[in-house]
Structure 1
């Protein structure tokens, strides 16, 4: 039989257990209430912040899209304006072309991109715009039976030399003969267009000034004359090249300036293209570039500026490059 004391102990144990359960339940309920309150606080703070951040991101995207649209509009405006053959303006046109491609996500054909960067106008006549007239026959063809000196190239080298007509002044202009791609004849009276010059000179080469000794100049022209891909004897302005030929090997016999042979030791300033100066002909690469007199202008721009100034041109074959009789 269970004694009264045992019953009392059992009752006391049940009461303590019940009290402990009650305390635990109240503790859990209190923690739950605290969590509910904290969750409410977090919700009250975080949701508006999330909404604000989301709204800011959406607004930012809209502003970014609006900014992109503005950039495209600005680029089109620049490219639709009348081109000017100056280095700062050309740099702005290049920025406009790059921006247009970046934000419109439409790649431009290579020829169109080159034209837009240089002088092609998006509206109006564009490439068809006339820049001047030739009063003599211009010939840019090369091949069997075609004289080494070319009248079209004489026009271009004269334009290169005129780009450095101030101080310091270029003594000569030289450009490798493979720089031209048109292979056309322009009859007297033909009105020349931007497209004509872009077709002839499609490369993005700028005009630079080199300091070369007479000996370096002779070596450079000799190297180019027999270098595969250089197109033979370079085209020149302000200089006469006399050469002989034996078994398809060209030898430069003399370089003449104003009726006198060039001095091997004397330094001359030579206008040429960045392509030639960068090492297409190694001897040009060995020359000292006069950096502060680099125009930074595309050769296409330089020739157009020359045409704008002259309005009419009359280059002829005048013996700048002549073969000596054996």
Structure 2
């Protein structure tokens, strides 16, 4: 009886020691946060894959994923070191660097470029029978315009402005996340919604399983008007069959996404992060179809931000920089 009790005490002590050691080791890891977007969007899904790849291949770090309002908020978070890494739309990043629009007079001096990522497509979703075919048809309608502080919301305002409209011309402008927009479309509480992201956006895919959806055209004329102030915008198309029931190519606006990093994150850590990412693209591609647009060859495509020294070192080794 006495020996059995001693054995239990020893086992319990060893278990507590192992648990304490594991918790201590984890506390000593460098804690990194990557800011993303809504949980139904490509930013969050791709970042989840990246965090798992990084945590499995780099000793001494622990990367966690934060769901946020996306691009505008993400730029601010990286600038204020509330997140070390982030995804954001290229136009928002440009405005942050130059201190324009929502960053008027306050350029973000601590944000650096990590890599160009996938292309974003502005996807204005409605339901068949709504009568909404073009941006002009949104006049007087109830429209989801994206989450507050998101790149989607910025896109919505700028697209409407290119057609001589603003939120006052809508029946109602609702500030909604991806998931909220699709839920409100399903419940017929809104008539259309702006969602900007890679293809496909999971929330739209899910919506299309229960509703007959349609995608509103954004004309090349509208895109060209927007290019006058920011040439990164391109006229592109959402391919037929991307979503159930939409069997035609739909013209829309496209723009690059960037991965961002805080300028003060250690050079060697950033070098490890970018190296491991590009050495594990085959794994990353399994997380989301849009991730397949992330390539080493395109790592600096359309990049307007100053690069972090850690990624500069990597890109020089790969011959992308002199």
Global fold match (TM > 0.5): no
TM-score by length of 1: 0.30
Give the number of the structure whose residues are more often helix, by fraction.
1
Larger radius of gyration: 1
Instruction: Pick 1 or 2: higher relative contact order, CA cutoff 8 A, min separation 6.
Output: 2
TM-score by length of 2: 0.30
